């Protein structure tokens, strides 16, 4: 027997769950193939979500609420040039009060976020199946998905939110450009004796950035990019030794470090799909683009993918148009490419300028930091651009 839905979503990470909620909220029948792994899992990551993403959560009735109590506001972002180069720059502080009255965003535990989105999806009537997509055929007026246990599902459009190794992307015959960096990120969290003052700090080091992001109380989350061998050493250290190494890497800026949380390693890769939509498929989140965790761009971009897809699909349904038709897919591709590709370029350039170890890219990065520190209008422009593009989906607008 073949089940039917207006929209099928593959992947129950934050991108797939957010898209499922938004499409169901518009009154369409949504089936989500969630895979067999638990949705929230044991993930030490937190995600810094900027105001447009917070507005999406508010639109879904999830903000303010239980999530807020587990999250911390981001009022200041500080960049510290911590390289051993001959020319270095002083720190640059971006303060949200320079451009408005609200924080840049909030730092939210990713497990709590996916848990809240899953609950909301269920309450909106999304049909969540603990099944893995195994095959996808995309010819004719519908797409046909088959799961590993033989369930068949037909839909007008499939939202591929199945992560970097996306089966949906491959089945829709969309190639991807992939690359890797000689780096691994250590994600964790820690207590500290000095207050974080609602400030996230990105230390630019020779092996990549080390970023601390405020959590409630005197605790911060950590994303520490290191060369693979050093990352392995840090990950297998005793808690005490790791705390000591971290405290030294932070130059004691947060006082005494203790209470190290779970440490998890993420090898650093990049990926861009050559098309973000084709053959009745729209790609969301890491199925479409992967970038290193610098400047908190990844999930913010993914939520904009989800909101854009939902807005286009709901618009098509309202006028009786095909939500998986070529015109709509082309529009989605154009809209998302404008946002994703330049941001991926900036993140890649910053990361490579640290790894290259040669004077020109290092000098350009240092010059950029100096200009941002000293020229107010440039600093404010960078802050506005960091929050998101001018053109936002309706549910993310202020
Ligand atoms: C250390 C670190 C820190 C980060 N910090 C930030 C930050 O501060 N701010 C920010 O914006 N971003 C951040 N990011 C990026 C962010 O975490 C990712 O962009 C986001 O988690 C991607 O979500 P996703 O839903 O696209 O993919 P995933 O979370 O990978 O979800 C994909 C889902 O699809 C499922 N799946 C796969 N194949 C199938 C199948 N065949 N059938 C069914 N299901 C399937 C998987 O099980 C998984 O549940 C960070 C990333 C890292 C590594």
pLDDT tens digits in sequence order for the chain, 398 residues long:
778 999 999 999 999 999 999 999 999 999 999 998 765 557 999 999 999 999 999 999 999 999 999 999 999 999 999 988 766 778 899 999 999 999 999 999 999 999 999 999 999 999 999 999 999 998 788 999 999 999 999 999 999 999 999 999 999 999 999 999 999 999 999 999 999 999 999 999 999 999 999 999 999 999 999 999 999 999 999 999 999 999 999 999 999 999 999 999 999 999 999 999 999 999 999 999 999 999 999 999 999 999 999 999 999 999 999 999 999 999 999 999 999 999 999 999 989 988 876 666 777 787 778 777 778 888 888 888 887 787 899 999 98
Which residue minimizes the CA distance to atom 29 of ligand 1? Answer: 13
User: What pLDDT shows up at residue 119?
Assistant: 97
Which residue minimizes the CA distance to atom 14 of ligand 1? Answer: 298
User: What pLDDT shows up at residue 87?
Assistant: 67
Tokens of 139: 């010819």
CA angle 27, 140, 15 (to 5 degrees): 45
The three-class DSSP label of residue 353 is: helix
User: What pLDDT shows up at residue 384?
Assistant: 84
User: What separation in Å is there between the alpha carbon of 167 and the centre of ligand 1?
Assistant: 15
6/334 Cα distance (integer angstroms): 23
Question: Which residues does a 6 A CB cutoff place in the pocket of ligand 1?
Answer: 10-16, 33, 35, 37, 45, 47-48, 132-133, 161-163, 167, 185, 187, 223, 266, 285-286, 293, 296-300, 302
User: What separation in Å is there between the alpha carbon of 372 and the centre of ligand 1?
Assistant: 31
Which residue minimizes the CA distance to atom 35 of ligand 1? Answer: 11
User: What pLDDT shows up at residue 280?
Assistant: 97
352/11 Cα distance (integer angstroms): 31
Which residue minimizes the CA distance to atom 37 of ligand 1? Answer: 162
Which residue minimizes the CA distance to atom 38 of ligand 1? Answer: 162
Provide DSSP, 211-261: EEEEETTTEEEEEEEE-HHHHHHHHHS-HHHHHHHHHHHTTTTT-SEE---
User: What pLDDT shows up at residue 169?
Assistant: 98
Place of tokens 């005793």: 238
CA dihedral 323, 329, 332, 334 (to 10 degrees): -160
Please say whether the beta carbons of 12 and 287 come within 8 A.
no
- Strands 257-258 vs 264-273: parallel, antiparallel or unpaired: unpaired
Q: What's the pTM?
A: 0.96
User: What separation in Å is there between the alpha carbon of 219 and the centre of ligand 1?
Assistant: 24
What's the longest Cα–Cα distance across the chain?
68
Ligand 1 mutation target, pool 149, 298, 340, most atoms within 8 A of CB:
298
User: What separation in Å is there between the alpha carbon of 94 and the centre of ligand 1?
Assistant: 27
Tallying the residues shown for the chain, one arrives at 398
User: What separation in Å is there between the alpha carbon of 12 and the centre of ligand 1?
Assistant: 9
Which residue minimizes the CA distance to atom 11 of ligand 1? Answer: 299
Please say whether the beta carbons of 136 and 97 come within 8 A.
no
User: What separation in Å is there between the alpha carbon of 163 and the centre of ligand 1?
Assistant: 6
**Residue 99 DSSP label:** T
176/196 Cα distance (integer angstroms): 39
Which residue minimizes the CA distance to atom 26 of ligand 1? Answer: 285
User: What separation in Å is there between the alpha carbon of 101 and the centre of ligand 1?
Assistant: 31
Residue 261: partners with Cβ closer than 8 Å, 6 or more residues away? 44, 188, 189, 190
Which residue minimizes the CA distance to atom 16 of ligand 1? Answer: 299
The rounded radius of gyration (Å) of the Cα atoms in the chain is 21
Ligand 1 atom closest to the CA of 41, numbered from 1: 49
325/316 Cα distance (integer angstroms): 9
User: What pLDDT shows up at residue 29?
Assistant: 97
User: What pLDDT shows up at residue 378?
Assistant: 81
């Amino acid at each position: 027997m073949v089940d039917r839905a207006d929209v099928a979503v593959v992947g129950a990470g934050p991108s797939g769950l957010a898209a499922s909620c938004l499409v169901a909220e518009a009154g369409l029948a949504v089936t989500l193939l969630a895979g067999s792994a638990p949705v929230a899992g044991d993930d030490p990551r937190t995600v810094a979500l900027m105001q447009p993403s917070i507005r999406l959560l508010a639109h879904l009735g999830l903000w303010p609420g239980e999530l807020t109590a587990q999250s911390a506001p981001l009022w200041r972002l500080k960049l510290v040039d911590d390289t051993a180069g001959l020319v270095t720059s002083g720190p640059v502080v971006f303060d949200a009060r320079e451009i408005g009255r609200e924080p840049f965003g909030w730092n939210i535990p990713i497990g709590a976020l996916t848990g809240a989105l899953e609950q909301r999806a269920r309450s909106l009537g999304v049909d969540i199946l603990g099944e893995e997509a195994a095959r996808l055929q995309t010819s004719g007026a519908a797409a046909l998905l088959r799961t590993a246990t033989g369930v068949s599902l037909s839909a007008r459009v499939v939202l591929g939110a199945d992560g970097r190794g996306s089966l949906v992307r491959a089945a829709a015959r969309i190639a991807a450009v992939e690359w890797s960096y000689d780096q691994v990120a250590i994600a964790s969290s820690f207590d500290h004796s000095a207050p974080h003052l609602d400030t996230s700090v990105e230390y630019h080091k020779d092996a990549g950035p080390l970023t601390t992001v405020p959590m409630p109380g005197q605790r911060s989350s950590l994303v520490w990019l290191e060369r693979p061998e050093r990352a392995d050493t840090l990950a297998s250290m005793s808690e005490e030794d790791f705390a000591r190494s971290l405290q030294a890497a932070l130059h004691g800026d947060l006082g005494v470090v203790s209470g190290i949380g779970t440490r998890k390693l993420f090898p650093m890769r990049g990926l861009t799909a050559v098309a973000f939509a084709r053959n009745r498929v729209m790609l969301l989140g890491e199925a479409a683009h992967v970038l290193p965790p610098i400047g908190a761009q990844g999930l913010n971009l993914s939520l904009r993918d989800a909101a854009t897809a939902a807005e286009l699909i709901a618009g098509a349904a309202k006028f009786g148009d095909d939500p998986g038709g070529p015109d709509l897919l082309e529009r989605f591709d154009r809209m998302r490419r404008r946002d994703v590709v330049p941001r991926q370029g900036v993140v890649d350039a910053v990361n490579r300028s640290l790894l290259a170890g040669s004077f020109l890219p290092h000098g350009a990065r240092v010059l950029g930091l100096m200009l941002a520190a000293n020229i107010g209008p440039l600093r404010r422009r960078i802050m506005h651009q960091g929050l998101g593009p001018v053109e936002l989906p309706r549910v993310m607008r202020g």
